[in-house]
Amino acid sequence: MQLIRQHKTWLNNLLVPVLSIVFGFIFGAILMVAFGYNPIIAYDAMISGVFASPYFIGEALRQATALTFTGLGFALAFKAGFFNIGIAGQALVGWVSAIWFALSFPDLPRILLVTLSLGVGAIIGALWASIAGFLRAYFGTSEVIVTIMLNYTALQLTNFLIRDVLSESGNTTESVGENASLSIGWLSTLTQSSRLNLGFFIAMAVVILYWIFMTRTTAGFEIRAVGLNPHASTYAGMSAEKNIILSMFLSGALAGLGGAIHGLGTFGNIFTQGGLPDIGFNGIAVALLGLSNPIGIFFSSILFGVLDIGAGFMPNRAGVPDEMADIVTSAIIFFVGANYIIRYFVDKRAAKKEAASSTKGGDV
Amino acid sequence: MPMSQSVIEMKGITKEFGTFRANDNIHLDLRKGEIHALLGENGAGKSTLMNILSGLLEPTSGEIKVNGNSVKISSPDVANELGIGMVHQHFMLVDKFTVTENIMLGREKSKFGYIDKKSAEKEIKELSDHYGLKVEPSSKVENITVGMQQRVEILKTLYRGADILIFDEPTGVLTPQEIEELMGIMRKLTDEGKSIILITHKLDEIKQVSNRCTVIRRGKSIDTVDVSITTQQELADMMVGRSVTFKVNKKPADPKETVLKVEQLTVKESRGYDAVKEISFEVKAGEILGIAGVDGNGQSELIQALSGLTKSSSGKVHLAGTDITNKKPRKITEAGLGHIPEDRQKYGLILPMTLEENISLQTYYQKPYSNHGFLNYKEIKVHAKRLIEEFDVRTPSEEHTAASLSGGNQQKAIIAREVDRDPALLIAAQPTRGLDVGAIEYIHKRLIELRDNGKAVLLMSYELDEVMNVSDRIAVMYDGKIIAIVNANETNESELGLLMAGVPIAEAKKKSDGKGKEKDAVDSTT
């Protein structure tokens, strides 16, 4: 009976994100109809566009790779009770520092250069996020405000570095050498030379490591405990300061690693940015859609990858403008954000069923 | 006062959840103008029955009559219309709103589309004066005491026209004085023709205010008795279904070496004034030191400072020979402190986590529960299972969340965790708050057992009976100071009562000598 019950709550949990997605698509369809477009053709273009060719499947997975990292980064801080809205900035400093490192030591052996470049990206992202963690731990500053501010600092700092340090007043840096490339020959061949790279496998490994860390280590236990009840955690001898800084550090490390993989794997360079990279904020949506569960995040980032790449087919094949495609994606994010409304109805339904068929009454 | 007329008759109420019968053929009749106590252990089915009466649940079978008419209470609104109002145990108030705004909430009066606060305020003021509630309608809820907040809840039901008031465990959060005042209010309400159902497991309160008492055990109504001719012992036996010992049986204490030594300790509270003022005392191995006092005289701050949850501003604390002054909670725990916190749900447990995780909350980082930073869930489970068995924590499994347990079982889990670590000193703050007689008896036994095993116990409680029955010595706190430390077997209730009110010891002794006898005389006539 207990197993069935747990199974049921699990299904209910899954129902919320699934309904968010469905509502997002329905809302997008209504909007398309309202403006005279055919949503069926548009969605068909989106889906078949991606899945008809190995190249676009590869590209969708490549896009999903970065989102997996930023999503996991957001989720980790979220589990500890912090809202790290600075994922975008942390990814950006990770990106620029990985490129910088790769350009500075082009002659290192490939395995070493790739490892070190990614490591530098992760550490810089981690330190960047730790600023907010440190201020929160010792001065009680809101991590939301500080990370928002650090986002803009990261943006301007990156652009300064690109123009004045990494190039001579240019808008892009040189491309990194062969030894810093993440591309894998057979994977590129398989996906008809898409930019899908080693990062995808690193992402899968990190999903598993994240799960092990959160559920099987004492450090992960502390982070979960502090997030669920900081008072009881302090009572039990856990250090609030340590856990705030640690969770922000790890959150930033994941974002920075995501940025580094995005930079080395997708572009091989960095160029001046007009705004914060999408992988940051979309990562937050991915984490919320995935219910902060690593497997959930993995699959929701694939969904976002498909949406992102698939949206590109809507203008040509269905005549739907780019903006409309963006609105569909945004609508899904909106319904994810508004999931408490959906949760309300799901819970209500579950409560009714429970009352009708429960075997465990207790003092209700 | 005509007491014969029944305002509520619940006949043969049965409520099934699947195969589980929460209520099994329960009978309850409430007469006009009476205070009718509903007594039962946690999980006996009191709340289910009251949820049926207030329209939150529908009975599987049975009949409800209100003022002689058969009714179907299908929703809380219907209950409201029938004049049934509930004063909840956990207040449902918006802190930032005024009393008036809170009472109006959901029943806003409007005039031309604007909220008519003035007339509501006037009406509330009148109600408050009429029943002697002394509530100021314009004050903000966050600025009034817990006792006042409860009166706001009472006013809320009256404002909505309730004639039948259900009080759900109303005294759990109140100080002795506030309890006294509440009793007065309840009597006043019934004098004015209201009828009251009082849900409680405190027997002395039942004796004090109620006319009749219906006892429920495992979903069945056992009996309805006239309170004036029933003793507390009889009520307790009926509730538990066996003979309960009230007087805690214990040998005289055999105090040994000093375990806790507090010297000149001063602790500031959150707003910055001194809550604990230069306190000094000792607790020895093999004794229970009780801390008595009215809520808010520095007891909570003292315990927070001893356990490392707040810093003290001056003074020294030694535990088992180690200086633990202003050390981190973990250092203090490792120096030999076990701590049953006052607020078990806020500090004692992480409710959404599983029972096994909660049981390992103080030891998860040690071997064998973890190794090189990796948790060993196998050991955690074995450990949890053993403690659940040993401390009789009632739960379907160790993988259930702490939130799913009843209050008594949550407390047992905390006690299991703290006692099992074999601490030199156990601080038990309000360890039996909100628990039923069976659980209280159990917890008291455990504390004394610990003492007999040569441990030191510091017991803080606002329940005078508890402090007197369990402790060997009693320190009375008043205004942040310990104004006296007395031996439990050489004092009496009235002496402690006077000390708790700040009367110096010499005077309290003199006064209580006379009073004590007077009180005995009164007792023997009843």
DSSP-derived letter for residue B490 is G
Domain that residue A324 falls in = 1-37+320-364
What's the ipTM? 0.84
CB contact at 8 A, A179 and A113: yes
Clarify whether residues A17 and A105 are in a common domain.
no
Instruction: Determine the Cα–Cα distance for residues A90 and A155; give it in Å rounded to an integer.
Output: 10
How far is the CA of B409 from the CAs of A39, A103, B249, in angstroms?
56, 62, 23
Clarify whether residues A299 and A361 are in a common domain.
no
Whether residue B421 lies within 8 A of chain A, CB to CB, comes out as no
From A236's Cα to the closest Cα of chain B, the distance in A is: 5
Clarify whether residues A153 and A231 are in a common domain.
yes
Helix (H, G, I), strand (E, B) or coil at B275: strand
DSSP lists the bridge partners of residue B281 as B262
How many contacts, defined by CB atoms under 8 Å, are there between A and B?
101
Instruction: Determine the Cα–Cα distance for residues B123 and B137; give it in Å rounded to an integer.
Output: 10
Clarify whether residues A178 and A306 are in a common domain.
yes
Instruction: Determine the Cα–Cα distance for residues A189 and A139; give it in Å rounded to an integer.
Output: 53
What is the number of residues in chain B? 526
**Cα angle at B461 between B458 and B466, to 5 degrees?**
95
Is A46 within the bounds of a domain? no
- Cross-chain CB nearest to A237 (options B22, B57, B362): B362
Q: Do B362 and A357 touch (CB under 8 A)?
A: no
Q: Do A228 and B352 touch (CB under 8 A)?
A: yes
DSSP-assigned states of every residue in A67-116:
HHHHHHHHHHHHHTT---TTHHHHHHHHHHHHHHHHHH-TTS-HHHHHHH
Is A267 within the bounds of a domain? yes
Q: Do B350 and A232 touch (CB under 8 A)?
A: yes
Is A330 within the bounds of a domain? yes
DSSP-assigned states of every residue in B113-150:
TEE-HHHHHHHHHHHHHHTT----TTSBGGGS-HHHHH
Amino acid symbol at A339: N
- Cross-chain CB nearest to A235 (options B16, B48, B309): B309
How far is the CA of A121 from the CAs of A146, A210, A254, B58, in angstroms?
21, 18, 9, 61
Whether residue B423 lies within 8 A of chain A, CB to CB, comes out as no
What is the pairing mode between strands B164-168 and B114-115? unpaired
* A364, closest residue in chain B (CA to CA): B48
Q: Do A360 and B361 touch (CB under 8 A)?
A: no
Tokens of A175: 């491309």
Whether residue B397 lies within 8 A of chain A, CB to CB, comes out as yes
Q: Do B397 and A357 touch (CB under 8 A)?
A: no
Instruction: Determine the Cα–Cα distance for residues A28 and B248; give it in Å rounded to an integer.
Output: 70
Clarify whether residues A112 and A127 are in a common domain.
yes
B314-319: strand order across its sheet? B274-284, B258-268, B314-319, B322-323
Whether residue B75 lies within 8 A of chain A, CB to CB, comes out as no
Clarify whether residues A250 and A106 are in a common domain.
yes
H or E element at residue B170: none
A13 CB neighbours in chain B (<8 A) are none
Produce one character per residue of B301-326: b if its CB has 16 or more CB atoms within 10 Å, e if not: bbbbbbbbbbebeebebbbbeeebbb
Q: Do B45 and A224 touch (CB under 8 A)?
A: no
Clarify whether residues A283 and A144 are in a common domain.
yes
Clarify whether residues A326 and A177 are in a common domain.
no
Helix (H, G, I), strand (E, B) or coil at A142: coil
Q: Do A364 and B22 touch (CB under 8 A)?
A: yes
A239 CB neighbours in chain B (<8 A) are 328, 330
Tokens of B166: 């259900």
Sequence-distant (≥ 6) Cβ neighbours of residue B50 within 8 angstroms: B38, B86, B166, B168, B197, B199
* B308, closest residue in chain A (CA to CA): A235
CB contact at 8 A, B32 and B195: yes
Instruction: Determine the Cα–Cα distance for residues A213 and A144; give it in Å rounded to an integer.
Output: 25
A236 CB neighbours in chain B (<8 A) are 329, 361-362
Sequence-distant (≥ 6) Cβ neighbours of residue A261 within 8 angstroms: A65, A66, A69, A118, A121, A182, A197, A199, A202, A203
Calculate helix-pair angle for A39-51, A294-311, nearest 10 degrees.
110
- Cross-chain CB nearest to A364 (options B51, B328, B375): B51
pLDDT of residue B399: 92
Clarify whether residues A120 and A252 are in a common domain.
yes
Whether residue B436 lies within 8 A of chain A, CB to CB, comes out as no
Clarify whether residues A298 and A341 are in a common domain.
no
Smallest CA-to-CA distance from B43 within B403, B408, B297 is with B408
526 residues of chain B, pLDDT tens digit each = 444 689 999 999 999 887 778 899 999 999 999 999 999 876 678 888 999 999 988 999 999 999 999 999 998 889 999 999 999 877 888 888 999 999 988 777 777 777 788 888 899 999 999 888 888 898 888 888 778 889 999 999 999 899 999 998 888 667 777 888 899 999 999 999 999 999 987 788 899 999 999 999 888 999 999 999 998 888 888 887 777 666 677 888 889 999 999 999 999 977 778 899 999 999 999 999 999 987 778 999 999 999 999 999 999 999 999 999 999 999 999 999 999 999 898 999 999 999 999 999 999 999 999 999 999 999 999 999 999 999 888 888 899 999 888 888 899 999 999 999 999 999 999 998 877 778 888 899 999 999 999 999 999 998 888 899 999 999 999 889 999 999 998 988 778 878 887 778 888 788 776 544 444 433 433 3
* B42, closest residue in chain A (CA to CA): A363
DSSP lists the bridge partners of residue A9 as none
Regions of chain A where pLDDT drops below 70: 1-10, 337, 339-341, 344, 346-364
Q: Find which of B13, B15, B17, B89 to mutate to test the A interface (most A CBs within 10 Å of its CB).
A: B17
DSSP-assigned states of every residue in A201-240:
HHHHHHHHHHHHHHHHBHHHHHHHHHHH-HHHHHHTT--H
Is A55 within the bounds of a domain? no
Is A186 within the bounds of a domain? yes
Whether residue B376 lies within 8 A of chain A, CB to CB, comes out as no
DSSP lists the bridge partners of residue A172 as A271
Helix (H, G, I), strand (E, B) or coil at B13: strand
A225 CB neighbours in chain B (<8 A) are 350, 353, 361
Q: Do B57 and A364 touch (CB under 8 A)?
A: yes
pLDDT of residue A351: 61
- Block residue for tokens 């009693």: B474
CB contact at 8 A, A206 and A72: yes
CB contact at 8 A, A292 and A75: yes
Residue that terminates a domain, selected from A313, A332, A348:
A313
Tokens of B472: 């060997």
pLDDT of residue A354: 52
Q: Is A236 left (phi over 0), alpha (psi -120 to 50) or beta?
A: alpha
Is A47 within the bounds of a domain? no
Is A43 within the bounds of a domain? no
DSSP-derived letter for residue B345 is I
Clarify whether residues A97 and A145 are in a common domain.
yes
Q: How many CB atoms lie within 10 A of CB A322?
A: 11
Whether residue B311 lies within 8 A of chain A, CB to CB, comes out as no
Q: Do A236 and B329 touch (CB under 8 A)?
A: yes
Tokens of A197: 């790279």
Is A157 within the bounds of a domain? yes
Tokens of A111: 């395995």
Tokens of A86: 């600075």
CB contact at 8 A, B439 and B432: yes
Residue that terminates a domain, selected from A272, A297, A313:
A313
pLDDT of residue A243: 95
DSSP-derived letter for residue A271 is B
- Cross-chain CB nearest to A232 (options B42, B48, B346): B346
Clarify whether residues A309 and A328 are in a common domain.
no
How many domains are contained in chain A?
2
**Backbone phi, then psi, for B267, in 5-degree steps?**
-130, 130
Q: Each residue of A216-255: pLDDT tens digit?
A: 999 999 999 999 999 999 999 999 899 999 999 999 999 9
pLDDT of residue A108: 94
pLDDT of residue A3: 44
Residues 239-258 of A with CB under 8 A from B: 239
Instruction: Determine the Cα–Cα distance for residues B246 and B438; give it in Å rounded to an integer.
Output: 10
H or E element at residue B225: strand B220-226
**Omega within 30 of 0 (cis) for the link into B2:** no
A224 CB neighbours in chain B (<8 A) are 353
Instruction: Determine the Cα–Cα distance for residues A43 and A307; give it in Å rounded to an integer.
Output: 10
Residue that terminates a domain, selected from A313, A333, A353:
A313
CB contact at 8 A, B84 and B30: no
Q: Do B48 and A364 touch (CB under 8 A)?
A: yes
Alpha helices in B360-455 (DSSP H): 377-390, 407-420, 437-452
Tokens of B362: 């103080």
